[in-house]
């Protein structure tokens, strides 16, 4: 689906309709669902949350490494575009992992600095 450019005369309703249409295509109601770990228990430690988050980032990086490895090995049918896309996604996942780790460590430090 191509997203049309927003002109100065476009109404906010048409822009919102496009956003809803893209959201429906992606099937994500809340953008925070992409990065937030889903944890069932209410008594989960910070270390468990951090491990879970890093495991999800690692899993995502492992999924995108296939086309890059295929291109590097010279396999037939391997395309440079797929390899470059995989490298970009891998870099994005690394940045996301570092951001989430830093936020979780900062939250842990704030909790530890609270006075009883």
pLDDT for 26 equals 59
pLDDT of residue 1: 47
| Residues in the chain where the model's pLDDT stays below 50 | 1-2, 6-9, 31
CB 29 within 8 A of CB 44: no
Distance CA 113, CA 116 (A): 9
Query: What is the model's pLDDT at position 98?
Result: 87
pLDDT of residue 27: 59
Model pLDDT, residue 77: 87
How many whole angstroms separate alpha carbon 27 and alpha carbon 22?
Answer: 8
The pLDDT value recorded for residue 8 is 46
pLDDT of residue 94: 84
């Amino acid at each position: 689906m191509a997203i049309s450019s927003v002109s100065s005369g476009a109404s906010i309703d048409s822009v919102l309709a496009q956003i809803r249409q893209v959201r429906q295509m992606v099937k994500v109601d809340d953008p925070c669902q992409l990065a937030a770990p889903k944890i069932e228990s209410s008594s989960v430690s910070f270390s468990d949350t951090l491990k879970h988050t890093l495991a999800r980032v690692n899993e995502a990086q492992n999924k995108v490494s296939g086309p890059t490895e295929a291109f590097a090995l010279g396999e037939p049918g391997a395309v440079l575009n797929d390899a470059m896309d995989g490298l970009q996604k891998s870099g994005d996942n690394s940045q996301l992992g570092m951001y989430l780790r830093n936020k979780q460590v900062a939250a842990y430090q704030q909790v530890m600095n609270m006075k009883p």
